[in-house]
Structure 1
Amino acid sequence: MTTGNPESSGPESDGLESYGAVLFDLDGVLTPTAEVHMRAWARMFTAFLESSEGQPPYTEQDYFDYVDGKPRYDGVRSFLASRGIELPEGTPDDPPDVETICGLGNRKNAEFSRVLESDGVQPYPGSVRLLDHLAASGTPMAVVSSSRNARPVLRAAGLLDRFPVIVDGNVSAERGLAGKPSPDTFAAAASDLDVSVDRAVVVEDALSGVAAGRAGGFGLVVGVDRGAGAERLRESGADIVVADLGELVGE
């Protein structure tokens, strides 16, 4: 475990099981579907920018800076704003070939679904190790994801039955919850588990996700560095940063 003070005492050094609940992001935290999302975003935006004169190519850093961890349409808005590109909002029913905010978001989702169906997904072994450890200690757990595909991904990874509470993009839309970096979705999951936010742990790999954990006053915010960068995760609000969740399981 990487901490600012490795000899500190209290719940942080005692382990995640000393908290009332642990709230996990999904993509890039439990499953490597962040890689699938990254490829889907890259394919969609690369093709879109080819028709936009004078625009530099879409890069992996664009994903981490503007898209990672955000609800799909928010990610489209954020990236386009960074390039000074304006498009109509459209509606969630827009087909993928329509050049609106929603149309581009739906185009990305179609790419994601094709890759998930063809390749499947396996959870990170270290993440499963931590889930097993927390389950053995009776620690309540939830998944909090901006993705509307969270349940299919969890099912494909064999993890769906582990989580009594799943707050995904569909639940957020139904309840009118603001997406990350707002803390609303994490707060809703803690409430559903009947745990106060100061007794809940947020586990995130996205800058927007750790920012949500810090903004919400959660008891501990764990950053998982899958490419965003350890220092940037700390600057955004992570209390500790690990490269793999297996590091949080005591020997």
Structure 2
Amino acid sequence: MSAASPLAACLRRVRAVVFDTDGVLTDSARMHAAAWQEAFDACLAAAGGGRPFDPVDDYLRHVDGRSRLDGAAAFLASRGLALPPGSPDDPPGTGSVAAVAARKEEVFTALLREGGAPAWPGSVRLLHALRGAGVPCAAVSASRHATELLSRAGLLGLFGAVVDGNEAARLGLPGKPDPALFAEAARRLAVPPREAAVVEDAAAGVEAGRRGGFGLVVGVDRSGTPGHAAALRHHGADVVVTDPGELLVPGAAP
């Protein structure tokens, strides 16, 4: 890339970029948090009460970046609720981890069908700059809805690969913080992880990028909460930004 590249220096040394979807590319993390809040609060009420799910702190701490089942199990354990695991066929409810996860899925799907989630403008600018520089990109998500989210946001055509929850289930890939999802995305772009970057807003995802041997791990902190940027660095972020648009040279046209 030339010296006139609109990309920040840290991105000029990578050959591909793998993006997390929710919260990094699309403003959908709030929808996930709202769906989890409804599912978890119903479960807590059925168990006799307890401190409600916090859609910021509990979301970041227990479920952000994880698969539905892993996130449900982590939060319920944090509240001392020992529900049976259940099975994938459990209907939405409060009687098992799988039932709580199914309720979250039900609520999130309804929110998505109501209108989807817009793309973050800074992320869109960065994606176009990367395309202009000839840097291929992939999108990764633990959610099974990533392809629909990206399509509704008008971003799907900017990616050479999408590895979402459907692909993870089909291939038997473990969720974050295991690096398998990111590694599969890099494989599909035909770029080794050491020559690629990961852009991620969840601590579990940042850890996955670091464990996967990616050459650059960028943490995105849109939370506005004390300590989240520090948590991203602790889990392995080389750089932390509040928006991916900060990875463009100020004033440069993508």
The answer to whether TM tops 0.5 is yes
Measure how far apart 1:97 and its partner are.
Answer: 2.8
Residue 178 (str. 1) matches residue 174 (str. 2): yes
SS of equivalent to 1:201 = strand
Partner of 2:71: 75
1:159-201 deviation digits (Å, cap 9, x = unpaired) = 1121121111111111111100011110111111111110010
Partner of 2:28: 33
Residue 154 (str. 1) matches residue 158 (str. 2): no
SS of equivalent to 2:214 = coil
Partner of 1:48: 43
Residue 217 (str. 1) matches residue 216 (str. 2): no
- Asked if 1 retains the 8 angstrom alpha-carbon contact of 2:46 and 2:94, the reply is no
Among 83, 86, 90, the residue aligned to 1:90: 86
Determine the C-alpha separation between the residues in 1 that align with 2:9 and 2:49: 53
Residue 57 (str. 1) matches residue 52 (str. 2): yes
SS of equivalent to 1:203 = strand
Determine the C-alpha separation between the residues in 2 that align with 1:120 and 1:220: 30
Partner of 1:231: 230
Determine the C-alpha separation between the residues in 1 that align with 2:218 and 2:156: 22
Determine the C-alpha separation between the residues in 1 that align with 2:129 and 2:18: 15
Determine the C-alpha separation between the residues in 1 that align with 2:160 and 2:189: 8
Determine the C-alpha separation between the residues in 2 that align with 1:128 and 1:15: 18
Shifted more, 235-244 versus 52-61: the winner is 52-61
- Asked if 2 retains the 8 angstrom alpha-carbon contact of 1:148 and 1:168, the reply is yes
Task: Extract structure 1 runs of 4+ deviating beyond 3 A.
Answer: none
Tell me the amino acid that sits aligned with residue 50 of structure 1.
A
- Asked if 1 retains the 8 angstrom alpha-carbon contact of 2:8 and 2:247, the reply is no
- Sequence identity (%): 50
Partner of 1:24: 19
Shifted more, 181-190 versus 48-57: the winner is 48-57
1:85-112 deviation digits (Å, cap 9, x = unpaired) = 1112222222113622111111101111
Partner of 1:100: 96
Tell me the amino acid that sits aligned with residue 246 of structure 1.
G
Residue 140 (str. 1) matches residue 139 (str. 2): no
Determine the C-alpha separation between the residues in 2 that align with 1:92 and 1:238: 34
Partner of 1:202: 198
Tell me the amino acid that sits aligned with residue 236 of structure 1.
H
Shifted more, 93-102 versus 111-120: the winner is 93-102
Residues paired across the two proteins, number = 240
Which TM-score applies when normalising by structure 2?
0.90
Q: 1:13 to 1:30 in 2, by over 3 A?
A: closer
**CA-atom RMSD in angstroms:** 1.5
Partner of 1:9: none
Partner of 1:166: 162
1:35-90 deviation digits (Å, cap 9, x = unpaired) = 11011111111121112225222213111111110011100011111122111222
Partner of 2:4: none
Determine the C-alpha separation between the residues in 1 that align with 2:85 and 2:41: 20
User: Any gaps of 5 or more consecutive residues in structure 1?
Assistant: 1-11
Determine the C-alpha separation between the residues in 1 that align with 2:137 and 2:46: 44
Partner of 2:3: none
- Asked if 2 retains the 8 angstrom alpha-carbon contact of 1:17 and 1:137, the reply is no
Tell me the amino acid that sits aligned with residue 25 of structure 1.
D
